[in-house]
Amino acid sequence: MQFIPNAPIKEEMLKEIGLESIDDLFSDIPKKIMTQHLALPPGISQQATEERMKEIGKTNQPFCALPSFLGGGTKPHYIPAVVKSILQRSEFYTAYTPYQPEASQGFLQAVLEYQSMIAELTGMDISNASLYDGATALGEAALMCSRVNRRKTFVIPKNISWEKKCVLTNYVKGAGIRIQEAPYHNDTGAIDVDTLRTTMSEDCAGVYLENPNYFGVFEEDVEEIQQIIHEKKSLFVVGVDPLSLGIVKSPGEYEADMVIGEGNSLGLPMDFGGSTLGMFACRNEFVRQIPGRLIGMTKDKDGKRAFCMTMQTREQHIRREKATSNICTNEGLCMLAATVYLSWLGGNGLRELSALNYERGQRLEQHISSIKGFEKVFSSPHFNEFVIRCADVRTLQEKLLQQGIQGGLLLDQWYHDLSNCMLFGVTEMHRDSDIKRLLSILQEGL
């Protein structure tokens, strides 16, 4: 049978299913939302397309040409050459988890190494083979909490990323889970513990806490928060920046039940906001509820060490009603990058990098807040992000861009009580000359 567009067989196929035209296939779509035509230019050759794409590409500004101090998401981190070198090997160069263990032992071993590293880093018993990103990991955590204790309310801090909040809302909608927000303290930027206590109901499946949170602030009352959550027999979900774990307690040390996070900082480039890597780890008692898949070590028929998929509880492998998730794959290539990156860093390297990011954040905040017209907003300790208030952030942002610097993230669009506030982020990639230039422009005033 020929499967060629507009082939004569098209008429026969339409007749067979009782339709007169292709348009009848889309009759369920309301006419008012259908697009009649697309405003696309005429087709051009491959060579002309490549030339056009190069011209468009020249308008982009790389980090080295336009230093970015944006907080609240993807930030620049140094990626050693060994990461790209190993990723580009033909044995690994796929984003998909292999289904043929006999032909993919090296890749499966890398996944097992990743799981072991994330479990050790977070202080959890087990980690899965990764998810799509930090936002979907949060959605999966909410669903998992509800599966474990059969409750239908999930509490989140009011100051999480609006992107995560949107993804979470879409994730839990079909499961009938209600999202409830706990406010943050205006002085510290940390979650308001007293209000959290009254916010939680008997139907609370779990509570999500970011440490450091979206404002870069460390939550100092984690022990008390943990007690409040577990007194209600709810589950404690902690979101982390993995690089911060080189200098602070792992969530396992303050009795978290699940740990999630965005692993973009572990050897992945910024690339306009991607690639991303969803970290997900939990205590062993929840192993049967964890989304995604687990890789384990076994022995083959000859008694030699081998690696295999130990568990993959999704709808393609077990009865649909017993599936924990419809995640079809882990972020294989991103997971491998994180594995190589963490192996290259080692424990001491992670500690040094974490301390460097912390120190740079403290120094930059002190320098900016000492300039007339600028003040720090929150008093709590922070990692490498912090919130600054000044008279006119939009005019300042434009001025910085004109001078070749991307300033902090404007917050008032999502947090109305933080008007004229910017969320700055700084890492080991920001040169002293970049920081001096930023401070010099800020000192000039508006």
Domain boundaries, the chain: 81-342, 346-444
The radius of gyration computed from the CA coordinates of the chain, to the nearest angstrom, equals 25
Q: Is the pLDDT of residue 316 over 60?
A: no
**For helices 105-122 and 332-369, what crossing angle results, to 10°?**
30
Q: Residue 50 belongs to what H/E stretch?
A: helix 46-57
Q: Determine the pLDDT at residue 236.
A: 98
Q: Determine the pLDDT at residue 96.
A: 66
Q: Is 309 strand, coil or helix?
A: strand
129-135 average pLDDT score: 90
pLDDT bucket at 365, cuts 50 / 70 / 90: very high
Distance, CA of 389 to CA of 377 (rounded, Å): 6
Q: Is 183 strand, coil or helix?
A: coil
Nearest in space to 309 (alpha carbons), one of 298, 320, 319: 298
Q: Determine the pLDDT at residue 27.
A: 86
Domain 81-342 has CATH 3.20.20.70: no
Which numeric CATH code is attached to 346-444? 3.90.1150.10
Distance, CA of 241 to CA of 213 (rounded, Å): 9
Q: Is 379 strand, coil or helix?
A: coil
User: Among residues of the chain, what percentage have pLDDT more than 90?
Assistant: 70
- Give the pLDDT confidence of 140-156 residue by residue, as tens digits: 999 999 999 999 999 99
Q: Is the pLDDT of residue 103 over 70?
A: no
Q: Is the pLDDT of residue 3 over 60?
A: no
Q: Which residue has the higher pLDDT, 101 or 362?
A: 362
List Cα–Cα distances, 197 to 26, 76, 189, 347, 348, in angstroms.
Answer: 51, 37, 17, 37, 38
Distance, CA of 386 to CA of 279 (rounded, Å): 24
- Give the pLDDT confidence of 30-40 residue by residue, as tens digits: 988 888 788 88
Cβ of 226: how many Cβ atoms within 10 Å? 19
Distance, CA of 219 to CA of 216 (rounded, Å): 10
Angle, CA 121 vertex, CA 118 and CA 124 arms, to 5°: 75
Q: Is the pLDDT of residue 109 over 60?
A: yes
Weakest mean pLDDT among 107-121, 288-302, 309-323, 337-351: 309-323
Distance, CA of 205 to CA of 141 (rounded, Å): 10
- Give the pLDDT confidence of 266-284 residue by residue, as tens digits: 999 988 877 899 999 999 9
CB contact set of 352 (below 8 Å; sequence gap of 6+): 246
pLDDT bucket at 64, cuts 50 / 70 / 90: confident
Nearest in space to 267 (alpha carbons), one of 334, 329, 355, 357: 334
2-11 average pLDDT score: 68
Distance, CA of 298 to CA of 373 (rounded, Å): 63
- Give the pLDDT confidence of 173-225 residue by residue, as tens digits: 989 999 999 999 999 999 999 999 999 999 999 999 999 999 999 999 999 99
How is residue 132 annotated by DSSP?
A: S
326-335 average pLDDT score: 75
Q: What are phi and psi of 325, to 5 degrees?
A: -165, 160
- Give the pLDDT confidence of 376-430 residue by residue, as tens digits: 999 999 999 999 999 999 999 999 999 999 999 999 989 989 999 999 999 999 9
Given CA atoms 139, 143, 144, 146 in this order, what sign does their dihedral have? positive
Nearest in space to 400 (alpha carbons), one of 377, 375, 424: 424
Beta strands in 300-339 (DSSP E): 305-312
Contact 184, 190 (CB under 8 A): yes
Q: Determine the pLDDT at residue 371.
A: 95
Nearest in space to 384 (alpha carbons), one of 231, 239, 232, 244: 244
pLDDT bucket at 65, cuts 50 / 70 / 90: confident
Q: What are phi and psi of 115, to 5 degrees?
A: -55, -40
Alpha helices in 237-378 (DSSP H): 332-369
Q: Is the pLDDT of residue 28 over 70?
A: yes
Nearest in space to 363 (alpha carbons), one of 288, 276, 428, 444: 428
